[in-house]
Amino acid sequence: MPFVKRPFHVEKPTKAFLFIMKQFNFTQGEAQRLIAKGRVLIDGKSIYHTGAIIEGEIEVVYFEPKSRGIKPIFVDKNFLIFDKPSGVLVHPNTMSTEYSMLDEVRTHSGQNANGTHRIDMETSGLFLASRHKEAERYLKGSFEQKRIKKEYLAWVTGKLTEPFSVEASICVRDDYSTNKHKVEICKEGKYAKTEFTPLEYDKELDTTLVECKPLTGRLHQIRVHLFHVKHPILGDPIYGTSFETSDRYLDMELTGEERLIETGATRLMLHANTLLFPYGATYHIKSKVDFRKFKGEICKKEKRIFFK
């Protein structure tokens, strides 16, 4: 488990942040942030004052990365790029999260390294991480200012032959009583636009491989835009399937076979394929994964349960 709690003995009265700096080789800012989050405990209770004097027995909760062997596909002095597998979180949801890409990022580049953007757990593909705090600020700012361009590949239901775009505002839902969609198309939402280009059609599976270019960065944008035009992504357990299936998926009650038949694939068939961004030079990075080969994860047409 990446977050661990360990006991320490402080020999003489010491300011809490100075002890953390020395013990973990942290900067002053890192030590103070850890304390401010309540990660230093005395008699089982968190302290939050970074200048507090500590002595004797204490406990510290901190992130200790555990690698599973995923190596970056591109390394620069400022950033790393990984090909994230489907099913892996980019960042721990809670302190009990057993594994995420942050384990690999910090195993490779240390405590100051961090992820710079989100990818849905079930989406595979390129994940950009910073190697130090200055790079983190720059890259996160670049995402916010739309200087970083992303392209995705998706296997979708049905046949598409011509390029098209979807320009439909998106808002976050707060009522899951009728469906489990996180977002929906609504006039009052935030502007969103995605461009789509069909690349190939598989008649036997009745699926089209589509290149997706999100021009904005809304939550679940590609997924909800494709659902909106009635070509949902195969394997999507939230958009394009029944309420019951979504509910059972979220409750982790859906078997692998049920998932395959009721959503059309073993996983969400969405892949982050390219990144284009400036960092001194202009970088254009392409995933090393051949996403076409993942057609084997798609359920045969005659076995799929279509939800309308």
Asked whether residue 1 carries a pLDDT value surpassing 70, the answer given is no
Q: If you average pLDDT over residues 246-250, what whole number do you get?
A: 93
Q: How far apart are CA 260 and CA 217, in angstroms?
A: 29
The packing angle between helices 243-250 and 256-263, to 10°, is 150
Tell me the residue type at 228: H
Under CATH, what is the fold of the domain 74-144?
Alpha-Beta Plaits (3.30.70)
Nearest C-alpha neighbor of 35 from the set 23, 12, 52, 22: 52
Which one from 120, 175, 202, 206 is the annotated catalytic residue? 120
120 annotated active-site: yes
Q: How many residues does the chain have?
A: 308
Query: What phi, psi does 168 have (nearest 5°)?
Result: -145, 125
What's the angle, vertex CA 114, arms to CA 78 and CA 251, rounded to 5?
145
Asked if residues 195 and 222 have their Cβ atoms less than 8 Å apart, the reply is no
> Could you read off the pLDDT of 18-68 as tens digits, one per residue?
999 999 888 898 899 999 999 999 999 999 998 899 999 999 998 889 999
pLDDT higher than 80, residue 2: no
Residue 32: beta bridge partners?
none
**Distance, CA of 85 to CA of 83 (rounded, Å):** 6
Tokens for 58, please give them. 């204490």
Question: For the whole prediction, is pTM greater than 0.85?
Answer: yes
The predicted pLDDT at position 68 comes to: 95
Average pLDDT, the chain: 94
Tokens of 135: 């790079």
Task: Name the CATH superfamily for 149-303.
Answer: Pseudouridine synthase (3.30.2350.10)
Closest Cα to residue 92, out of 108, 115, 111?
Answer: 115
Among candidates 283, 239, 202, which has minimal Cα distance to 123? 239
| Segments making up each domain of the chain, as ranges | 3-63, 74-144, 149-303
Strand partners, 84: 125
The DSSP bridge partners found for residue 114 are 130
CA-CA distance, 205 to 157, in Å (whole number)? 9
The superfamily (CATH) of domain 3-63 is RNA-binding S4 domain (3.10.290.10)
Q: What does the block give as tokens for 32?
A: 């103070």
pLDDT value of position 216: 94
